[in-house]
């Protein structure tokens, strides 16, 4: 009985893989996010240009979330959607 309880409380391997991937992806995103204003200022961009760049980035991210949410509701196999999302996210990072 005790073996069944501990076995049922363990998470599947995919949960650990997804958590680790998410951690590294989010860490890379946050590291690049705070450097962007400094980089843009060093090449002569002002506050207005920074605002436009950040606004466009947030708009694209919101539209991508909307579309991927729609796909996730329609698809029964979500793992390819998650994997492709992380592949794309890591491919566009410098």
pLDDT tens by residue, 53-78: 889 989 998 998 899 889 889 988 88
Tens digits of residue pLDDT in 10-52: 888 888 888 898 898 888 888 878 888 888 889 999 999 989 9
- The total number of structural domains in the chain stands at 1
**Coil, strand or helix: which one is 1?**
coil
Does residue 1 form part of some domain?
Answer: no
Pick from 50, 86, 44, 49: nearest CA to 68: 86
- Residue 17 domain flag: yes
Flag whether 85 is in a domain: yes
Q: For the whole model, what pTM was predicted?
A: 0.64
């Amino acid at each position: 009985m005790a073996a069944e309880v501990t076995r049922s409380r363990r998470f599947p391997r995919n949960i650990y893989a997804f958590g680790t991937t998410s951690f590294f992806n989010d860490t890379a995103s946050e590291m690049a996010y705070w450097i962007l204003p400094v980089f843009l200022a060093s090449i002569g961009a002002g506050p207005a240009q920074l605002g436009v760049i950040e606004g466009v980035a947030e708009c694209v991210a919101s539209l991508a979330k909307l579309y991927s949410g729609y796909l996730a509701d329609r698809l029964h196999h979500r793992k390819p959607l998650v994997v492709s999302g992380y592949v794309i996210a890591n491919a566009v990072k410098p």
